[in-house]
């Protein structure tokens, strides 16, 4: 019993000394940094809806850093000539809210499209979508694949 109490007291002292206990209890909420992963064509509208819910849930534009990385079959839903009006409308609203969109360069090459062939708002993930996902996670972004 005394070992547990000693361990708890030591841990509390260390955290208190580092100021972590105070920061967790009273510090301001950290700005959310989240990257969503989309590869499945049948999940496009669902994921765009999740993104909108996330933007709304944090209080609107500029309240979080949110990105969507798209690769594989899902990218076809964003080909400008083939994109459904509903998809374009949802994406446009998200871009205006500050959500970033990354298109996998490898998928673009495989599908024979250039950045101008995609709905407006995309940036190219030059090293590939999965590399971009890993880079963002290394930068502290939480990873979500709805």
User: Residue 42's domain is classified under what CATH number?
Assistant: 3.40.1260.10
Q: Minimal CA–CA distance to 136: which of 69, 70, 85, 56?
A: 69
pLDDT in tens, 70-81: 999 999 999 999
* 57 and 6 in a common domain: no
Report the DSSP beta bridge partners of residue 70.
Answer: 38, 103
Q: Are residues 7 and 56 in the same domain?
A: no
Please check whether residues 82 and 37 belong to one and the same domain.
yes
Copy the structure tokens of residue 91.
């994406």
State how far the Cα of 47 lies from the Cα of 69, in Å rounded to an integer.
Answer: 11
pTM for this entry: 0.80
Per-residue pLDDT band at 60 (split at 50, 70, 90): confident
CA atoms within 13 A on the CB side of 80: 11
Q: Given the structure tokens 């669902």, which residue do they identify?
A: 46
CA distances from 76 to 54, 58, 80, 84, 87 (A): 24, 29, 9, 11, 11
Range of the domain at 138: 31-144
**Together in a domain, 52 and 123:** yes
Q: Does the pLDDT value for residue 20 go beyond 50?
A: no
52 with 37, same domain: the answer is yes
């Amino acid at each position: 019993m005394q070992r547990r109490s000693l361990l708890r007291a030591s841990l509390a002292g260390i955290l208190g000394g580092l100021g972590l206990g105070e920061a967790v209890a009273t510090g301001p909420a950290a700005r959310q940094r989240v990257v969503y992963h989309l590869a499945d064509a049948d999940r496009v509208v669902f994921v765009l809806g999740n993104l909108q819910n996330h933007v709304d849930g944090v209080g609107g534009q500029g309240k979080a850093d949110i990105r969507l990385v798209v690769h594989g079959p899902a990218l076809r839903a964003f080909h400008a000539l083939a994109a459904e009006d509903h998809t374009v409308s949802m994406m446009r609203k998200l871009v205006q809210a500050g959500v970033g969109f990354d298109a996998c360069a490898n998928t673009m090459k495989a599908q024979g499209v250039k950045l101008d062939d995609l709905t407006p708002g995309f940036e190219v993930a030059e090293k590939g979508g999965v590399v971009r996902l890993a880079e963002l996670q290394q930068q502290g972004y939480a990873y979500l694949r709805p």
